[in-house]
Amino acid sequence: MPPTAVKLDDYRAVAPRGAVDFLVRMGERLRGRRFVHVSATRYGGGIVETLNRLVPILNDLGIETAWDIVIGGADFDASVSALGKALGGVEQVIPPERLERLRAVSAANVPRLALDADLVVAHGVAPLLLVDARPSSGRWVWAHPSDLSSPQPGLWPALRSSVQRYDAVVLSLAKFAPPLPVPRFLIQPSIDPLSDRNRDMSRAEQAALLDRLRVPRDKPILLHVGPFERRRDPLGAINVFRLVRKHHDARLVVAGTGPGEPDVLAEAREAVGGEPDVLVVELPPDPGLEINALERAATVVIQKPLHADFGLDVATAMWKAKPVVGSLAGGIPFQIVPHATGYTVDSVEGAAFRIRHLLSNPELIGRMGAAGREHVRRNLLITRHLGDYLALLAHLTS
């Protein structure tokens, strides 16, 4: 669902003290600069959701900001998807002709796009090759928040000449960075505290949503949120719960988002069998409000993917003041402050041990939850992300 119009002022109640005023001042300093974002689509989560919020705010601040998308056919979309997976290290078949077709579609898009700007940010794989036809003025940045550290062998040499045409690359974590001859900046993704997934919610609204999902609230809820995909390890969450349940009367909710992998959903259902204290919930499309209600109802949140990108599901749970027990995958260790906002663990047993510890010490749950919310407020809100973009614009175009 497209976000409702939100002004920067609306964030005053949730951003750190003085942060919104400072963003306004930064905007004044950069007024008149032209900032262009290009991505694959305008619909979806991740950076697209962030841009839906930030582009109008940047314009309100006086920075002329445009956002456009790369248009291609089904073959282009499939090639972009394959290239994205290959850059993430998942083996794909990408013959040179496929890359050439990608270059041709990118070149065909260039005349349609208004790329004359002080700073152009190409988000993700789809607009990567636009840089081959970049104008001589302005600075260009490629932003790719996912892991680029172990791409499919042979891929970088084919892309290197294009990536080198950028003035800089923006990554989310140092450990995701490939060696590149251009400056590499670090900007972490963020959550929007005013989105459906994160906004405040009345008890009545929360209860109605949980009733609709048929989630009872008679016991402490352990929550696992994520697509039914093997790499997200929903079966691992069920195994964690079985170890916890020996000692605590609790309930596990495994809530699945997105299309996922049908066989993993079937395996999860089979693993649960008839256990009444494990609920496998298939969330509707666009499930922001439902996840919001579930996270608010949870006592502890489990995020233990085997492989992850930045993994903002951790931050959204912490924003609801919930301790998170998470694996060491992707950006999860960056978000959890061990022993302060939750725990990072290496195994099913480790997760079970930490959850048992939390359920046995309920005062810790409140303390860690509060610390987690503050940690997110300072480091992982969209207001920080806006400041990072303004700083990048100032730094690269001064």
Report d(CA 5, CA 377) in Å as an integer. Answer: 21
Backbone φ and ψ of 322, nearest 5°: -110, 135
- Nearest distance from residue 17's CB to other proteins, in Å? 7
| 12 closest CA partner among 23, 3, 4 | 23
Applying CB under 8 A, among 104, 158, 186, 266 the residue interacting with other proteins is 186
* 374 touching other proteins, by CB under 8 A: yes
Residue 225's beta-bridge partner residues?
A: 255
Binding mask 200-229 for other proteins (x = CB under 8 A): ------------------------------
Report d(CA 393, CA 398) in Å as an integer. Answer: 8
Backbone φ and ψ of 203, nearest 5°: -60, -35
* 244 touching other proteins, by CB under 8 A: no
State how beta strands 168-171 and 119-123 pair: unpaired
| Those residues with Cβ within 8 angstroms of residue 355's Cβ, 6 or more apart along the chain or in another chain | 222, 240, 244, 300, 302, 325
Q: Of the ranges 228-236, 278-286, 309-317, 390-398, which one interacts with other proteins (CB under 8 A)?
A: 390-398
User: What is the DSSP track for 113-182?
Assistant: S---SSEEEEESSTTGGGGGG--SSSEEEEE--S--SSPPTTHHHHHHHHHTTSSEEEES-GGGPPP-SS
Taking the least distance from each CB to other proteins, the nearer of 15 and 255 is 15
Applying CB under 8 A, among 33, 224, 296, 375 the residue interacting with other proteins is 375
Applying CB under 8 A, among 85, 103, 165, 184 the residue interacting with other proteins is 184
Whether residue 381 contacts residue 15, with contact meaning beta carbons closer than 8 Å, is answered with yes
* 284 touching other proteins, by CB under 8 A: no
- The count of chain residues that interact with other proteins, using the rule CB under 8 A, is 40
Q: Of the ranges 1-9, 88-96, 200-208, 369-377, which one interacts with other proteins (CB under 8 A)?
A: 369-377
Applying CB under 8 A, among 58, 119, 250, 390 the residue interacting with other proteins is 390
* 12 touching other proteins, by CB under 8 A: no
* 183 touching other proteins, by CB under 8 A: yes
Report d(CA 277, CA 218) in Å as an integer. Answer: 11
Long-range pairs of 171-175 with CB within 8 A, sequence gap ≥ 24: 171/144, 171/145, 172/145, 172/146, 172/309, 172/310, 172/331, 173/310, 173/330, 173/331, 173/334, 175/147, 175/149
Q: Of the ranges 122-130, 282-290, 348-356, 384-392, which one interacts with other proteins (CB under 8 A)?
A: 384-392
- Nearest distance from residue 147's CB to other proteins, in Å? 12
Applying CB under 8 A, among 337, 350, 353, 364 the residue interacting with other proteins is 337
Applying CB under 8 A, among 166, 341, 358, 359 the residue interacting with other proteins is 341
Burial class (CB in 10 A: 0-12, 13-18, 19+), 137: exposed
* 179 touching other proteins, by CB under 8 A: yes
| In the chain, beta strands by DSSP E | 34-39, 64-69, 119-123, 139-143, 168-171, 184-186, 221-225, 251-256, 278-282, 300-303, 324-326, 342-344
- Nearest distance from residue 303's CB to other proteins, in Å? 17
Q: Of the ranges 4-12, 46-54, 170-178, 349-357, which one interacts with other proteins (CB under 8 A)?
A: 170-178
Q: Of the ranges 174-182, 273-281, 289-297, 357-365, which one interacts with other proteins (CB under 8 A)?
A: 174-182
Taking the least distance from each CB to other proteins, the nearer of 186 and 266 is 186
13-32 residues in contact with other proteins (CB under 8 A) are 16-19, 21-22, 24-26, 29
Q: Is the dihedral of CA 85, 87, 89, 92 positive or negative?
A: positive
- Nearest distance from residue 16's CB to other proteins, in Å? 7
- Nearest distance from residue 340's CB to other proteins, in Å? 4
Residues contributing to the site for other proteins (CB under 8 A): 16-19, 21-22, 24-26, 29, 171, 174-175, 177, 179, 183-187, 328, 333, 337-341, 371, 374-375, 378-379, 387-388, 390-392, 394-395, 398
